[in-house]
Amino acid sequence: MARPRIDLPPADAVRALVDGEARLAVRVTPGARVEALTIEGGRLFAKVRAKPEDGKANAAVAALLAAALGIALSRLELLRGATSREKLFRVGD
């Protein structure tokens, strides 16, 4: 059975959450039933199926963000939160 297509918020809405130093804060829920990226109350929330082991959830979040922003995965860097639900990414040029 094919996985359902993930609905992502518009790239401009996600880019609006990037601060002046090109940082993007994300609250992550690993091990979720469905993958999703939502904006609620001016914050970005990510749900990923991957479990938080061996960096799998971090990689899944980065891939979801790259898809939402329409950029290459290599342009994202995890700055803080490798073992936390609160993550901070740098969005490269």
Per-residue pLDDT at 32: 93
| Domain with residues 11-91, CATH architecture | 2-Layer Sandwich (3.30)
Cβ atoms of residues 61 and 26 within 8 Å: yes
Per-residue pLDDT at 2: 63
Per-residue pLDDT at 1: 61
Residues lower than pLDDT 50 in the chain: none
**Domain limits, the chain:** 11-91
Per-residue pLDDT at 3: 67
User: Whole-angstrom Cα distance, residue 23 to residue 48?
Assistant: 20
